[in-house]
Structure 1
Amino acid sequence: MDKFFKEVPIKAPKIAVSSIAQKANDIVVRCRYDREDLEKAHFDWKKTDRLTVLGIQCMHVEADLVLCREGCRKETAQLNRYIDKCRRLRREIVTKMRAVNDLKPLSAQIPSYAKSKCRADLVQDLHDLNYLGRYLKDELEGTGFDMSLIQKAYDESWKLSHLIADTIINRDSIKAATTKRNGVIRETVDLIYDIGAFARRVFRNDPRKHFYYTSKKYF
């Protein structure tokens, strides 16, 4: 694609996808009912075959998107709970490190949990605390410092980074599923309009049949 042009995203429909799928089915059934008149006008029956498939696909892609969103909500909730856990661990380690008199001159090297709220900063802080704890192992062990916290900082930073990555991947999956859903719906609606316009011309002198092929605005 030309770098001077941006891809325009397909809009989501204004009404329920189930209503669009039902309209697609209704159009197909009505066309079959009016087969004789439509065939005289040289109607392309491949269009109704395609619309039948699209009507089914509409429901499938909508279901896929719903499942994708639900999975992302669960992943996000899990991530938020884990972030709270990691923040408590960071606070505990920093507080205990700063309470050690021998580390007073090094307090500037200890991450400031009060200033950092970013997820990436939290991962980095835990990693830094692990590195600092291993570097100052002799000094800390001599004060009775719980060195298991240092290993825990490393373990939690590793797990948190992966949870963040999983959440980002899930959000990208939602975007992809949304794009796919909207694309299928757009094609379905365009075909509904196309078939409807053809049939209304055929039945322009029959108000009742003309009405059957009238469609509302879906986007």
Structure 2
Amino acid sequence: MSNSEDFNALIDVIKAIPENQIRIPAIPVNVYLQEAEDLYHWAKDDAAELAKGGITAEMIEELPVRTGACREAQSLWFKDHYTSKEAKKLWDEQSPAAYDLRDELLHDFRYAFRDNTQLLGRVSEIADGTGHADMIQDLNDLAVLGRENPDPLAAINFDVTQLDTAAQTADAMAELLAQSNGDQQEGNPAKIIRDRAYTHLKQLVDDIRACGKYVFWKKPEKLVGYSSHYYRVNNRKTISVPSEESSAD
């Protein structure tokens, strides 16, 4: 099956994993997925011996399905994450102009409505507040206020097309802000599914590795296939650093 088919086949099981059992990947997911695929081939060759420790052939064949589902979930999460990063970049590029437009409209409105205490009060209310969301709301509110009171603006030769620009900018920037914040929001749906799919895969990987270590505890040439190559390499690096520093001393 394809990764998407694996994902669709297991999505209900993945979603059913209790929140308190969800595990966050401790190593890069692409590395973990490759290790899971490598483990499948080790385990398939050792199926007879692993069966003595309780790992069935069906469990081994389930491994590539869970791996495919996790890979698809990771791709969906990466797409979400990438979209968020791109939106953040666009926000950084476009938001200064939106702020400038808001400030220019406030400046124009204060002058145009200088003889109308009520309208000046509404302008002050709009200007009150800070932050990106407030700026977006300000643009929309100013567009509405300007359309409701065209005469004072016409008297100062105000460019009324700026009102449409303000409304359109508010819509565009609101969408951009939502997208750029998507990656930062707690409980991002794509990330939760990715973490659940990883947890579902990890449960089986841990079981197979534990069985392999039990069965092949006296066969180092077999045992190596049931531990993480990533951790072996990184643990070796961690151990080597102090010895280099001590020799330098």
**TM-score of the pair, normalised by structure 1:** 0.76
Match of 2:46 in 1: 34
Match of 2:12 in 1: none
Unaligned runs of 5+ in 1: 1-5
CA distance in 2, matches of 1:163, 1:27: 42
SS of 1:15's equivalent in the other structure is coil
Aligned positions of 1:26-175 closer than 5 A: 26-39=38-51, 43-100=55-112, 103=115, 105=117, 106-111=119-124, 115-167=128-180, 175=188
CA displacement, residues 95-124 of structure 1 (integer Å, 9 cap, x when unaligned): 122234753644333147765332332233
**1:214–1:131 Cα change, 3 Å:** closer
1:174 to partner: Cα distance: 8.3
CA distance in 2, matches of 1:140, 1:46: 76
Residue number among 196, 204, 222 corresponding to 1:183 in the alignment: 196
1:170 to partner: Cα distance: 6.7
Counting aligned pairs with the same residue, the percent is 23
Farther off after superposition, 164-173 or 13-22 = 164-173
**TM-score of the pair, normalised by structure 2:** 0.68
CA distance in 1, matches of 2:221, 2:150: 87
Match of 2:8 in 1: none
Number of residues of Structure 1 aligned to a counterpart in Structure 2: 213
Match of 1:197 in 2: 210
SS of 1:37's equivalent in the other structure is helix
Point out the structure with the larger helix share.
2
CA distance in 2, matches of 1:49, 1:212: 17
Unaligned runs of 5+ in 2: 1-17, 232-249
CA distance in 1, matches of 2:128, 2:112: 21
1:195 to partner: Cα distance: 1.6
Farther off after superposition, 152-161 or 176-185 = 152-161
CA displacement, residues 176-208 of structure 1 (integer Å, 9 cap, x when unaligned): 222222222222222122122233333344454
CA distance in 1, matches of 2:164, 2:204: 61
CA distance in 2, matches of 1:167, 1:212: 42
Please provide the CA RMSD for this pair.
3.4
